[in-house]
Structure 1
Amino acid sequence: METLLGLKPYFYYKYIKKGIRGLRFLRIAILLFVGLSSVVNVKEGEYKVVRQFGDVIKIHEDPGLKFKIPLVQEVSSLSKKKRVYDVDQKEITTLDKKRMIIDNYAIWSISNPESMISNARTTANAEARMGEFIFSIVRTELGKMNFSDIISEESSRGELNEKITSRVNEFLSRDNYGIVVDDVRIKRSDLPEANENAVFNQMITDRNKEAQKYLSEGEAEKIRDISEVDREVKEMLSTARANAEKIRAEGEQQAAQIYNDSFSQDQEFYQLYRTLESYKRTIDGETTIILPKDSPYAQLLLGYFE
């Protein structure tokens, strides 16, 4: 007896069994594929965006295993980590009409993936829009400053960076781009090659003028200080001399008073004292004098030797 395929029953059943076994393996493979394709592994530090026919229907933020419909839904990843974006170098004009090349960078991250996808579509578009905001704000802020202040005031650079960062976030929040900027910094501020030497020469000239001004003011201040000190010294010396003369006069007056008080009590002693003082002023060791007998000197000497 033969089957419809012209095979004997033994061979017919053998091929049927192989076909059934193959179908079972195919079914298992399909189930495995469907099962694995429906699992979404959300890792730490990333968002998983689920799209269906191009539309975002779900965003997974928490780590763990999630599920999707195989073949119908597709999944992409967005990083939660901070990113560094180098803003293209641009030329700005300072308050004193100097041209400068400014190079910035920004540290940013995705804060709302749904808004970012809806309004920017891609991270590249978000960075491009952020770069436009940064340049616009940097141009405005540095346009309020002189060239010398920009390159010399390092202490205020941090405050300027904070102001730029805050303004950029205001613009991004206003347009609901779903990203946040943590920091905007000016990496480098250079002059265009065409006017670099001219600007630096002008800066040197300005600094020399300023230095000469300070030197002149310092010299004038020095002269004023010396004059003031001389005047004070003269006043102090004059006051000291006046006080000394006053003290000397008071001393002589007191001495004369003491002499008068003493001599008024003993007229003979006073006469003797005056004679001795006159002798001391008149006669030295080599003087020869002739005295009459009634001279006070002679009387004193004769009285002494007697």
Structure 2
Amino acid sequence: MDQKNKDLEKFLNFLSGKSKNTAPKEEDTVDNVVKMSKKSPMNPKKYISLAVTLTAVFAIAIIVFTNVYIVKESEYAVVRQFGEVVKFQSEPGLKIKVPFIQSVTKLPKNQMTYEVSEEEINTKDKKRIIIDNYAVWHITDPKQLISNAGTIEKVESRMEEFIYSVIRSELGRIEYKAIINDEDSSRGGINDQVTARVNELLSNDKYGIEVIDVRIRRIDLPSVNEQSVFTNMISDRESMSQKYLSEGDAEKRRIEAQTDKEVQEMLATAKKDAAMIQAEGEAEAAKIYNKSFSQDPEFYSLYRTLESYKKTVGEDTVIILPSTSPYAKILSGYIK
């Protein structure tokens, strides 16, 4: 008993801040213990009630905070109850769901890009190529997506299957050279066809999505046959070059022959026209001569003689003429 009193005394001294060296009187210690017992009676029910209250408040706070959610401007919120879709919200704001029996799945409103895995396919001429493409898509019906697909991952997996199947089918109808040589136009047409066909297949699944565009980013050759394909391409280009050169030479010869023919025809026509004009001129001149000379036959005879003399005698020509020759008469100054 004495030991317990000493321990109690030490405890009280500690609470009152007294020094260990100051020992209180025994009667003071007993009075203090009695007073403390009167002022602070032990009441377990009070503490239990307080604990229950705090627990209830904490539980309510947890329930409230876990069942209040925010819908952003860029997303849909789909509410499910026991696995079934009961509603979806597209308007932004603070929303509340029923605790324990409802769950919320959020889906993006904006367009999404899905990187399709690279795959090898065969062209029409049995060339192996690697296709690298991607798809741009968005959600049109969140309720259908959650009800029929469940997750975005499943939608993208299904979409990739369709894209690969359609691209393999489309490129399988085109030769490798056409894909490479007419890259822009061929790919543009293929992209549109693939997009339309993929949307058609997805509509059968009723996933509530739409593929906006499927694009072929790059077409590569497998490393195992890349060199052989390049060699064949070089050989094909050289053959095509020789073909074009041969066709060019043939066309050149054809044009030259046609030009020569046209020139000869033009010259012949010109000569013919010139001869006709000359003949007409000579005829007209003869007509004029005849008309003029018929008026003076002697002058006409003299003129004809002089003309023949001009053509017969040159500058250094020596001729011997009889005295009765018309030439001699003219040269001797005698004209009858």
TM-score (structure 1 length as normaliser): 0.85
Residue type of the alignment partner of 1:280 = K
Instruction: Decide which of 249, 255, 260 is 1:219's aligned counterpart.
Output: 249
Residue type of the alignment partner of 1:43 = K
Instruction: Decide which of 58, 62, 75 is 2:104's aligned counterpart.
Output: 75
Instruction: Decide which of 146, 164, 173 is 2:175's aligned counterpart.
Output: 146
Deviations 1:204-229 (A, max 9, x none): 22222222222222221221111111
Residue type of the alignment partner of 2:199 = N
Deviates more, 1:289-298 or 1:169-178: 289-298
Residue type of the alignment partner of 2:163 = I
Deviates more, 1:16-25 or 1:181-190: 16-25
The answer to whether structure 1 residue 39 and structure 2 residue 68 are counterparts is yes
Q: In the superposition, relative to structure 1, how do residues 288 and 47 fare at CA in structure 2: closer, same or farther (>3 Å)?
A: closer
- How do residues 251-266 of structure 1 correspond to structure 2 at under 5 angstroms? 251-266=281-296
Q: In the superposition, relative to structure 1, how do residues 271 and 200 fare at CA in structure 2: closer, same or farther (>3 Å)?
A: same
The answer to whether structure 1 residue 202 and structure 2 residue 232 are counterparts is yes
Q: In the superposition, relative to structure 1, how do residues 291 and 109 fare at CA in structure 2: closer, same or farther (>3 Å)?
A: closer
Contact 2:178 2:186 in 1 (8 A): no
Residue type of the alignment partner of 1:84 = T
Q: In the superposition, relative to structure 1, how do residues 21 and 258 fare at CA in structure 2: closer, same or farther (>3 Å)?
A: same
Partner Cα distance (1:176, 1:289) in 2: 123
Q: In the superposition, relative to structure 1, how do residues 57 and 290 fare at CA in structure 2: closer, same or farther (>3 Å)?
A: closer
SS in structure 2 of the partner of residue 271 of structure 1: helix
Instruction: Decide which of 169, 172, 188 is 2:218's aligned counterpart.
Output: 188
Q: In the superposition, relative to structure 1, how do residues 190 and 264 fare at CA in structure 2: closer, same or farther (>3 Å)?
A: same
Partner Cα distance (1:220, 1:226) in 2: 10
Partner Cα distance (1:139, 1:70) in 2: 49
Partner Cα distance (2:312, 2:252) in 1: 57
Q: In the superposition, relative to structure 1, how do residues 53 and 285 fare at CA in structure 2: closer, same or farther (>3 Å)?
A: closer
Deviates more, 1:11-20 or 1:96-105: 11-20
Gaps of 5+ in 1: 1-6
TM-score (structure 2 length as normaliser): 0.78
What do you get for the CA RMSD once the two structures are aligned?
2.9
Partner Cα distance (1:290, 1:221) in 2: 67
Partner Cα distance (1:239, 1:104) in 2: 68
Q: In the superposition, relative to structure 1, how do residues 265 and 62 fare at CA in structure 2: closer, same or farther (>3 Å)?
A: same
Gaps of 5+ in 2: 1-35
Q: In the superposition, relative to structure 1, how do residues 291 and 126 fare at CA in structure 2: closer, same or farther (>3 Å)?
A: closer
Residue type of the alignment partner of 2:127 = K
Question: 1:59 deviation in Å?
Answer: 1.7
Question: 1:163 deviation in Å?
Answer: 0.7
Question: 1:237 deviation in Å?
Answer: 0.7
Deviations 1:28-81 (A, max 9, x none): 555554444443321101011223444433321221222212344332321111
Residue type of the alignment partner of 2:144 = S
Partner Cα distance (2:320, 2:176) in 1: 102
The answer to whether structure 1 residue 276 and structure 2 residue 306 are counterparts is yes
Partner Cα distance (1:291, 1:126) in 2: 126
Q: In the superposition, relative to structure 1, how do residues 133 and 278 fare at CA in structure 2: closer, same or farther (>3 Å)?
A: closer
SS in structure 1 of the partner of residue 294 of structure 2: helix
SS in structure 2 of the partner of residue 265 of structure 1: coil
Match of 1:162 in 2: 192
Contact 2:84 2:147 in 1 (8 A): no
Instruction: Decide which of 95, 99, 116 is 2:145's aligned counterpart.
Output: 116
Question: 1:160 deviation in Å?
Answer: 0.9
Q: In the superposition, relative to structure 1, how do residues 280 and 74 fare at CA in structure 2: closer, same or farther (>3 Å)?
A: closer
SS in structure 1 of the partner of residue 241 of structure 2: helix
The answer to whether structure 1 residue 100 and structure 2 residue 129 are counterparts is yes
Residue type of the alignment partner of 1:160 = I
Question: 1:176 deviation in Å?
Answer: 0.8
Question: 1:293 deviation in Å?
Answer: 5.3
The answer to whether structure 1 residue 136 and structure 2 residue 189 are counterparts is no
Deviations 1:224-283 (A, max 9, x none): 111111111111111111111121122112111211111111112112212332443344
The answer to whether structure 1 residue 127 and structure 2 residue 156 are counterparts is yes
Contact 2:119 2:131 in 1 (8 A): yes
Question: Computing the radius of gyration over CA atoms, which structure comes out larger, 1 or 2?
Answer: 2
Match of 1:240 in 2: 270
Q: In the superposition, relative to structure 1, how do residues 196 and 289 fare at CA in structure 2: closer, same or farther (>3 Å)?
A: closer
Question: 1:291 deviation in Å?
Answer: 5.8
Q: In the superposition, relative to structure 1, how do residues 284 and 176 fare at CA in structure 2: closer, same or farther (>3 Å)?
A: closer
SS in structure 2 of the partner of residue 47 of structure 1: strand
